[in-house]
Each structure stands twice: as structure tokens, then as C-alpha cells.
A and B are shown apart, each in its own frame.
Chain A
Amino acid sequence: MGLNLPFLTKTFMLALKGIPVSLEITILSLLFAVIPAYYMALARLYHIKILSQIISIFISFIRGTPIVIQILFIYSLLPSLINAAAVRTGSSFNIFNTHPVIYAVVVFSLHTSVMLSEVIRASISTVDNGQFDASYALGMKQSQAFRLIIMPQAVVEAVPNLGTLTVNLFKETSLSFLMTVQDITAIAKIEASYGYNYIEAYIDIFIIYLIMCSLIQLIFYIAERIITRK
């Protein structure tokens, strides 16, 4: 098939440098998403009026539109908004110096908070209602029941779904090249564009993602084993 093997190995080594960037976006987005996701899940589980409806619409929007559009939307909206605010307040803050990783983290945090809230909601609703009744019968407060009884059981249920979510998120960070982030895809693509070696570059990206996603799955598999053994 005539693959350019020296280019393949050279680009592979270069693209490896993109892994920390992709991991950084993934981990930061997950961390920022945890708290909003938790409260969004609770608001929907308790059927809080108005708030629950607003959150449902937000979730439906994020789940119903492609991540590409969310990226392009926020990438074209956010800088001008912040810039307008900076001009109005008269600060010398220059938005155009902002690191693109920040935009990526904003987009993926929004996206992940929705996905994570669905995971949390599903895992909490798998815990039997009788567990609540039992903890109230023991004189626990609602917060205590949540912390001591419900959450430990819900976490066990959530781990496999959390693994899928992390793998999907890591895969989606490959789109952050649209925001000029220098991740795995961007580095390989730039290398490819010098000599039109696209197929080799994409094989490199493919191999790196295959290894990384397999590793993430393995970590979650081990975590699941450790948690369920207790």
C-alpha cells in the first residue's frame, strides 16, 4: 500500500507529546463537571419545580446537538462576550491571549456535566427506596442517609458508566483541534499537511487513541474490581 514508514514513526513520536494535553482537558473537564452534575441530578431526582424543567431543557439541548456545534458555538461566543465585558469595565484584559485549552475545558465541562448528571441520576435511582426508609427509621437525617447509605451503593453502580463516559470524553477531545489546541490530532495533522501524508498521520492518531482508551478502560475495570470486592 506504500505507507511512508519513517514518517509514520516520526509523527508517532511527535504526536505522543499531545497526550498530556488531551489528558489535561479530560481530567479538568471531569473535575469541573462533578459538582454541577451532582446538583443537576439531585434537582431532577427531587422534581424541584422550574429548576428541574430548566435543567431538563439544558440536558436535552446538550444531548441533542453535536459536540462540534457546541465547540464552534462557544468558541465564537465566549471570546466576544468576555471581550465586550472587558471593554465595558475598562480593564486591560486581552482575551485574544487566552490559552485555547481554557476554551476546550469550558466546552467539555459543560458537555460532561450533562453526561455525568445522567450517570449520577441513573446510579442513585438504582439504589432501592427501602434503603432511605431504613435510614430514616434509624434516625438519620437526609444528608446523613445520602452520605452514609445511598452514595456508597450508588458509586459502585456508577463506575462502569463512568468508565464509558471518560473514554467517550477522551475521544471527543480529539475535536479540540478546532479550537487550535495542540493535542494529539492537531500535532499529527500539522505534520501530515507538509507532505500530504494524511493516512500515516491518522494511523498514528488511531494507534495512540487505541492504546490510551484501552488503558482508561483497564483502569476503570481494576477500580470496579477493587470496589466490588469489599
Chain B
Amino acid sequence: MRPFDPVYIVRYFYELVPFIGRTLQVMILSVICGTVCGALLAWARLSSSRTARSFSVVYVHIIRCTPSIVLLFIVYYGLPKLIESLTGIRTGYNGKLLYVTITLSLLFAAAMCELFRAAYSAVDTGQKDAAFCCGFTPFQTAYLIIIPQALTAAIPVFCNEVIALLKQGALAFTIGFIDLMGETDVIVARNYGAHGLEVYIALAVIYWGLSIIIEQIAGIFEQRTMRGKTFPDEKRSLKA
């Protein structure tokens, strides 16, 4: 066992920093795709069609019961096979970015479906009736009445889900995708396992920093949407 050397933490930190962009790229793409799919799923869940509702329920249940790594492998190995059997096109196993993004979007869509549903149900039905009486279209009702009210409650949940997505993205190294975690794996392999601890510390610090930054950004947005609202029971202490 080589002695622990903190100098390597700094060295590997600088080596890993350029790969933040790759991780963020996957994260942002998945957030966008996942939010769109999640909105569609939530819409299906709240619709009057029985098939659409049950599809949404079953989808969310399956995703909640599947470890992210298993979903990643099913998409990575299964999707090319599926495409080949349907269209005869051999896609090969290139384009790992695509597979990782699809997996993360599938995961994020389920979380977003739950979020949208909860946020929508949290707004009083009287508000929708009132908007209807004022002659608002469903789009206007959503855009002007429901979303502004649902946003405050939704932002912290959204933030948590984005951080969860960032962390699940770290699993992409198992299919050989080179992002922060993938590069760490490469560095450890290049050193034949030496200084593994120092690399992992550097990596953990980067992920921790990213999570804190996301939390701070969400905090700013939350403050903005809270303008004019008061929460009487917000700060409580158990001190008697």
C-alpha cells in the first residue's frame, strides 16, 4: 500500500475538472427530455382515458422498482438489438451518450410525472372552476393560474430530482462512457489501482460541489417564486 498523499488529490482534481462539461451535458439533455416525457405522462395520468391512466401508473411503478444500473444495461444492450430486429439496421454499440441520455430521461420522466401530478393536485379545484367561469382556455388556466401556484412547492422537489439524476449519471461508467466517473475509472486503471483513494476524494469533492451549486440555484428560484407569499409555520424549533 502506497502512503496516502494529499498532493495527488489536487493533481487529479485538475485532471477531472474538464470532464464536468460532459457530465453536465448528459444531465441537462436528460432533464429536458425527461421533463417533456414526464409532462406527457402526468397528462396521461390525469386524463379521462383509462388506458392512458394505467399506462402512466404502470410506467412509474416499473421505473420505481428498477435499479438505475439495470435500466442502463437494458437500454444499452437491448435497444440496439430491438432496432436491429425491427428495421434490420445494425447500430452497434457506439453513441454511448445517446444510451445514457435515454436511460436517464426514462428515470427522470417517472419522477417528473409524480411531481407534476402532485403539483397539479395541490392547487384547489375552485381555482380551476373560477378560471373556467372567467372564460379561460385550459392552456390559459394552466399558464396563468395553476403553474404560478404550483411552482413554489415544486421547485425543491425538482432540485432534489435533478441532484438524484446527477448522481445516477455517475453509473454511466459501467458501460464505458467517459464522464467524470468514467475518467476516474480510466485514471485508476492507468495507475494500476494506485492512489485510488485520492482520485475518489477529488471526484467526491467535484460531485459535492455540483450538488451544492444546483441547490443554491434552486434556492434563488424558490425565493423569487415566493414573493408575496407567507408561510406561517415555516421555521419551527422543538425547544420548549
> Could you say which of A2, A132, A175 contacts B69, with CB atoms under 8 Å apart?
A175
Complex CA gap A72/B189 in Å reads: 13
Chain B positions within 8 Å of A64 at CB level: 163, 207-208, 210-212
Give the number of residues in A that approach B within 8 Å (Cβ atoms). 47
Residues on the A chain within 8 Å of B48, using CB: none
- Residues of A40-77 contacting chain B, CB below 8 A: 45-47, 60-61, 63-70, 72-73, 76-77
Look across to chain A and name the residue whose beta carbon is closest to the beta carbon of B62. Answer: A210
Contact A76 B69 (CB under 8 A): no
Binds B, one of A5-13, A28-36, A197-205: A197-205
CB–CB A136/B203 < 8 A: no
Q: Is B201 an interface residue (CB 8 A)?
A: yes
Contact A214 B200 (CB under 8 A): no
Pair B236/A210 contact, Cβ less than 8 Å:
no
Contacts A202-B70, A202-B78 hold; do A73 and B163 have CB atoms under 8 A apart? no
Smallest CB gap from B61: residue in A: A214
Question: Cβ of A174 and Cβ of B208 under 8 Å apart?
Answer: no
In the complex, A198→B26 CA distance in Å? 24
Say if the beta carbon of B154 comes within 8 Å of chain A.
no
Within 8 Å of chain B (Cβ to Cβ): is A83? yes
Stretch at the interface among B33-41, B127-135, B136-144, B165-173: B165-173
In the complex, chain B residues whose CB is within 8 Å of the CB of A206: 66, 70-71, 74
Partner of A63, one of B163, B170, B237: B163
A222 contacts partner chain B, Cβ-Cβ < 8 Å: no
Minimum C-beta distance from A20 to chain B (A): 17
Contact of B77 with A by CB under 8 A: yes
Q: Which residues of A contact B211 (CB under 8 A)?
A: 60, 63-65
Given contacts A1-B85, A132-B238, A203-B74, contact A68 B64 (CB under 8 A): no
**For A69, A129, A198, which residue has the most chain B Cβ atoms within 10 angstroms?**
A69
Given the known A-B contacts A63-B211, A69-B207, are A202 and B239 also in contact in the complex, defined by CB atoms under 8 Å?
no
**What is the bound-complex CA distance between A54 and B237, given in angstroms?**
19
Size of interface on B: residues with Cβ below 8 Å to A? 43
B204 within 8 A of A: yes
B197-A205 in contact (CB<8A) = no
Q: With A1-B81, A199-B74, A213-B64 known to touch, is A66 a contact of B196 (CB < 8 Å)?
A: no
Given contacts A167-B64, A210-B62, contact A66 B168 (CB under 8 A): yes
Q: How far is the CB of A224 from chain B (nearest CB, A)?
A: 16
Interface residue from B1, B66, B200, B238 paired with A73 (Cβ < 8 Å): B200
B239 near A46 (CB under 8 angstroms)?
yes
8 A Cβ contacts from A113-157 to B: 124-125, 129, 132-133, 136, 142
Are A72 and B70 in contact (CB-based, < 8 A)?
no
Complex CA distance for A209 and B85, rounded to whole angstroms: 27
B77 contacts A76, C-beta separation under 8 Å: no
Give the complex CA separation of A64 and B196 in angstroms: 20
Q: Scoring B residues 189 to 233 as 1 if CB is less than 8 Å from chain A, else 0, what string do you get?
A: 000000011001101100110111000000000000000000000
Name the A residues within 8 Å of B66 (CB-CB): 171, 206, 209-210, 213
A171 CA to B78 CA, complexed, in Å: 20
Binding site for B on A (CB under 8 A): 1-2, 45-47, 60-61, 63-70, 72-73, 76-77, 80, 83-84, 124-125, 129, 132-133, 136, 142, 167, 171-172, 174-175, 185, 198-199, 202-203, 205-206, 209-210, 212-214, 217
Q: Please name the 10 residue pairs, one residue from A and one from B, whose CB atoms are nearest each other, closest first.
A: A64-B211, A213-B65, A66-B170, A174-B67, A66-B167, A171-B67, A64-B208, A199-B77, A73-B200, A76-B196
